[in-house]
Amino acid sequence: MESIVSNHSKKLEDDIKELGQKIKHHEDNIKYLKTLKNKLDDSILDMQVSLGKHHASSTLSTNEDTEEDTIQHILRYEKSAAALLCRTKSKPETQLSDNPFTKDVLGIVATLGKVDDDNLSRLLSKYLGIETMLALVCKTYEDCKALEAYNKDRPLDDRSLVICLENLRPYTGEFLADDPQQRLSILKPKSINGETPPGFLGFAVNMVFIDYTKLYGVSKSGYNLRETLFYNLFSTLQVYRSRKDMINALPWISNGAVSLDGGMIRSPGVFSLGHHLGDIDVKFPCGPKSLNLHKNYYEIENRMKETKWRKDRAFEDMQTEQALLDRTRYNYETKKQEFVAYIARSSFQATEVIPLK
């Protein structure tokens, strides 16, 4: 009798252990599929950014400024420090001199970055404002002091901003893997169900193209322009396809947003009404056509279809695993209750009072 009880008890224990292992197996599968789905979501979003830029550049203004155009627009502010810098750098004799404008100034905000299309250039330039677009950028505070001393003998009528890289708090997160532009790995906005808001195209700080000669080790501490200058200018400013998308995403906008049709949120609760951006003469120049991703439009579109199919399959597999997990958990609880009841019954039978002889 004891042998029968022992065998049945061991069988129940083995069943419970096996069900527990199955639960862990299904949980691990769901965890893997969730991670895979999130990675596929991010890939789809990145491809949507590329396709969104294609649509923007093909349907909006094509009057794109080159770097030379931007400099010509800066020169119109003839009493600004930015215009003085452009005039000074254009003189051959200053290239090898100790002039602070050629030695201590890294450049002007408007000329230190490029974007893919004119509309995005107008948006980001309008967001920063003309004073910031004309700001001079220096590496160290000593450069700023040298520049200030230089300007005492050459007073400028227009007030000018000077940005010192070593005094900016740099971005402290990770970078996108294997990205030659050193784009920042910023967490994308996600709703409660883990989906990215419709129309979200990316972060402004990652949409600026930086010349490779000014990308790496620009600051005295070795930081690059994206993680110092442009991160401080844009922070986590979000870019959306339309104003409607941007408004619908308000719960996930923490530091402002812009939309390709002219919408602008400078900070939570502070909106710029209307769609017209107004006249913006000093804009970021547009990069060479090789930067425009619409050349690979159909390749990206096909890749996105394949990625969406993989995402749908991962979601279906995740639902299947969840159903299996729920069923296994139910069987586990049922078997555990059966085991507890059996042990209690066996213990009761073993402790029954034996009649005295």
pLDDT in tens, 37-84: 888 888 888 777 766 655 555 444 445 678 888 999 999 988 888 888
Find how far residue 310's CA is from the centre of its chain.
Answer: 23
Give the closest residue to 200 by CA, choosing from 208, 188, 209: 188
Residues in contact with 142: Cβ distance below 8 Å, sequence separation at least 6, in sequence order = none
> Residue 328 and residue 76: Cα distance in Å, rounded?
73
Q: Is the pTM here over 0.85, yes or no?
A: no
* Amino acid letter, residue 29: N
Phi and psi at residue 8, in whole multiples of 5°? -65, -40
Name the CA dihedral angle for 318, 323, 324, 328, rounded to a multiple of 10 degrees: 140
Specify the pLDDT at position 11. Answer: 82
**What is the helix, strand, coil percentage profile of the chain, to 5?**
55, 10, 35
> Residue 326 and residue 103: Cα distance in Å, rounded?
68
Question: What is residue 157's DSSP assignment?
Answer: S
Specify the pLDDT at position 95. Answer: 54
pLDDT in 10s for each residue of the chain, 357 residues: 455 556 777 787 888 888 889 999 999 999 999 888 888 888 888 777 766 655 555 444 445 678 888 999 999 988 888 888 888 887 766 554 566 566 678 889 999 999 887 888 889 999 999 999 999 998 887 777 666 666 666 666 567 788 998 889 999 999 988 788 889 999 999 888 788 899 999 999 999 998 877 777 777 778 889 999 999 999 999 999 999 999 999 999 988 999 988 889 987 666 665 555 556 788 898 865 444 444 456 567 767 778 888 888 888 899 999 999 999 999 888 888 888 887 777 776 666 544 544
Question: What is residue 189's DSSP assignment?
Answer: P
Specify the pLDDT at position 146. Answer: 67
Contact status, residue 175 vs residue 184, Cβ threshold 8 Å? yes
* Amino acid letter, residue 157: D
